[in-house]
Amino acid sequence: MLFGKYVNKYYKKFFLFFLIGVVALIVVDVAQTFIPRFLGQIIDSNNELIVDSEKLGSIIGGIILVAGIMFVGRAVWRLSIFRASTGIAAGLRKEMFLHAEKLPPAYYHENKVGNIMNWFTSDIEEISDFFGWGTVMLVDAVFLSASVFISMIRLNPWMTLLTAIPIILIIIWGMLVDRFMSKLWEGRQKEYDKLYDFAQENFTGIRVIKAFVKQNKEIHAFAKVAKKNQEVNVSFARLSVFFDVIIELILIIQMGFLLGFGGWMVYSTIVGNPVVIFGQTISMTVGELMEFVGYVDLIVWPMIALGQIVSMRSRAKGSLRRISAFLDTKVDVFSPPNAVSLDGGAGEIEFKGFSFRFPGTNDYALKDITLKIKAGEHIGIVGKVGAGKTCLVNTLLRLYNVEKGQVFIDGHDIMDADIQSLRNHISYAPQDNFLFSAEVEENIAFAASKINHERVVEAAGFADVASNIEAFPKGYQTVSGERGVTLSGGQKQRISIARAEYKDAPIMILDDCVSAVDVKTEETILANIANTRKDKTTLLIASRVSSVMHMDKIIVLDDGKLSAYGSHNELMKTSPLYQRMVFLQELEKEMEGGSKRG
């Protein structure tokens, strides 16, 4: 049994399924114990039974009845217990996804997607397995062995004592080996992953390997990895076969003792000189002995399972701990009660002494920024890598919490704003051009639940990507991503711009998203921005001054501080940093340009 605040509710939810399943299991466990008894009766009284067909009929009928009960019981427990365990898996998964949707981007920066995926897949599976097979093993271990032991003691307590020793050995051995095996299994998995990753990376980077004639080096390196795989696989196989063989040996020796000791008792009974232990006369028939052997057969599997159950539970516990930690992660970005809606606002932005640091860090990424962007203005943002450009726009989107009273949109503190309406208020094309593996059209129209094809084409035109898309065999229905066409970085960037444009919000933010397109396309896009978004607030982050110098105003950031804010002409007069950026760009042209044009 496994408890925790995220799983307890499932006991209640699936109580009936668990109950029915456990009852069915117990019924099966008890029914199973009858089979050896029938065998014993048949052996002991075969001579009478040949003539007494009524008695024979009752035994046969008994077997068929037991078989029928077991058939139904087994089907029932599988259907009910696994109904619960699959339900728990689906429920937990859903809960996790809902939580994942609420977590801020910072979380995804700090935690690799691969790790989160593991919680969604193998950890859920581990828990589900424990609720399914774990329950089955536990019930079997308790009730089947109880039911069998009772029958055994009733039959012959001394022989029961004799079987108890090897059974305990099996449990101990099972626990020991299971722990060791899972470690070895992990090691084996790790080596396999290494091999997989090695091949993956080699094939992806094959151009480099061929260019530098490193195939032989790579083949040697691969041989090492493959050899290691061979070795761990062999040692894993050795251990698992060894484990198996040892259990079998214990069982064989147990059987030897049973037959030897039992044979002696049966023989003594037959010759009329029954064995006496501690003053007790013990008589036994050969049928009873075989019945006893049948019981021992029944008890082996639950005992091996008992060894596994311990480590299974500890694995499930670890998984639950990881999942709980994930679900416990605080969601700190949320709309306040009585949040203000920004709908209908014109798109004015104001920073008042705005400072910001990323959660968990001491250094301020943005320091004391005060500026106002009037509705409808076009603003360029420039600055070196790490100056805080992306950070500034991300805070506008409430991807992080900011101090109250520092950032305002249309006169409302963004900390008071309803997040959904805030985000509806802003069209955004991020730096990393992430597209979903879906049709291009679906990607562009991502902001809306219904696709308006005309708007899609318009937006694609805005981003100067329409002709590229139309050139694909499937046009706007082209699927991007792994299963479809591989789009170039520039195409992805432009589709991402189109996606932002499709949303047509009062404020548009483009974060350095023309870096992979050529000069001419960049110019087209800049011209489209100037025309289409005339009188609509637009912020453009750029790595080159030339991209933003025609904008209404330019924000120059330096190391998190607002270094200058004004039009190109103003900044050329007042901002040394801006001047230097322009100068560097000029210098570059000098180097490239050579001849001047008249």
Partner 1 sequence: MDEKNEALMGDHKMSLWQILRHSKPYVAKEKLAIFLSFLLILINVVINIVLPYFTSRFVGLLKDETVGEKTFAILMGVVIGYVVLAVANEGIRYIQSMILQKAGQRIVYGLRMEVFNHIESMSQNQFNEMATGSLVTRVANYTASVSDLFTSVLVNLISNLLTVIGVLIIMMVISIQLSLWLLLFALVAGITSFFFGKIVGKIFRNERRYISDLNTFLSENLSGMKITQIFNQEKRKEEEFDVKNNNIRKATYSVVIAFAFYRPFINFLYYGSVAVTFGVGLQLQLLAAEIVAFYLYLSRFFNPIQNIADQLNQIQRALTAAERLYCLLDVPPEVVDKPEAREIDHFEGKIEFRNVWFAYEEENWILKDVSFVVEPKQTVAFVGATGAGKTTILSLIVRNYEIQRGQILIDGIDITEIKIDSLRKAIGQMLQDVFLFSGSIRSNLTLHDDSFTDEEIKAATDYVNASTFISKLPNGLEEEVLERGENFSSGQRQLLSFARTILHKPQILILDEATANIDTETELLIQDSLERIKNIGTMLVVAHRLSTIQHADNIIVLQNGEVLEQGNHQELLRKKGHYYKLYELQYADQEVK
3-state secondary structure of 141: helix
Choose the stretch contacting partner 1; rule: CB under 8 A; options: 95-103, 356-364, 370-378, 532-540: 95-103
Choose the stretch contacting partner 1; rule: CB under 8 A; options: 136-144, 181-189, 403-411, 430-438: 430-438
Nearest CA to 2 out of 164, 129, 103, 130 is that of: 130
Smallest distance from the beta carbon of 258 to partner 1, in angstroms? 9
Footprint on residues 209-238 left by partner 1 (CB under 8 A): 209-215, 217-219, 221-223, 226-227, 229-230, 233-234, 237-238
Query: Which C-beta is closer to partner 1: that of 176 or that of 219?
Result: 219
Which helix (H) or strand (E) segment is 566 a member of? Answer: strand 561-566
| Beta-carbon count within 10 A of 229 CB | 16
| Beta-carbon count within 10 A of 176 CB | 12
Footprint on residues 45-64 left by partner 1 (CB under 8 A): 46, 49-50, 56, 59-60, 63-64
| Cα 115 versus chain centre, distance | 7
Query: Which C-beta is closer to partner 1: that of 368 or that of 472?
Result: 472
426 binds partner 1 (CB under 8 A): yes
Smallest distance from the beta carbon of 414 to partner 1, in angstroms? 14
Footprint on residues 184-203 left by partner 1 (CB under 8 A): 192, 195-196, 199-203
561 backbone φψ class: left, alpha, beta (φ>0; ψ -120 to 50): beta
- Angle, nearest 10°, between helix axes 34-44 and 15-32? 10
273, 281, 420, 574: which one binds partner 1 (CB under 8 A): 420
300 binds partner 1 (CB under 8 A): no
Nearest CA to 77 out of 131, 22, 130, 128 is that of: 22
User: From residue 343, how far is each of 216, 226, 412, 423, 485 by CA, in Å?
Assistant: 63, 61, 11, 10, 38
**Residue 489, exposed/middle/buried by CB under 10 A (0-12, 13-18, 19+)?**
exposed
Footprint on residues 464-503 left by partner 1 (CB under 8 A): 481-482, 489, 499, 503
Smallest distance from the beta carbon of 377 to partner 1, in angstroms? 22
3-state secondary structure of 219: helix
Nearest CA to 163 out of 35, 260, 284 is that of: 260
Instruction: Please give the Cα distance from 135 to 313 (Å, whole number).
Output: 10
By DSSP bridging, strand 407-409 and strand 412-413 are: antiparallel
Footprint on residues 333-372 left by partner 1 (CB under 8 A): none
70 binds partner 1 (CB under 8 A): yes
Query: Which C-beta is closer to partner 1: that of 250 or that of 310?
Result: 250
Query: Which C-beta is closer to partner 1: that of 212 or that of 279?
Result: 212
Choose the stretch contacting partner 1; rule: CB under 8 A; options: 1-9, 148-156, 183-191, 263-271: 263-271
Query: Which C-beta is closer to partner 1: that of 248 or that of 403?
Result: 248
Smallest distance from the beta carbon of 299 to partner 1, in angstroms? 16
HEC letters along 58-89:
HHHHHHHHHHHHHHHHHHHHHHHHHHHHHHHH
Print the binding letters for residues 366-405 with partner 1: x by CB under 8 A, - otherwise: ------------------xx-----------x-x------
26, 139, 167, 266: which one binds partner 1 (CB under 8 A): 266
Task: Name the maximum alpha-carbon separation found in the chain.
Answer: 130
Smallest distance from the beta carbon of 385 to partner 1, in angstroms? 6
204, 361, 362, 467: which one binds partner 1 (CB under 8 A): 204
Query: Which C-beta is closer to partner 1: that of 215 or that of 370?
Result: 215
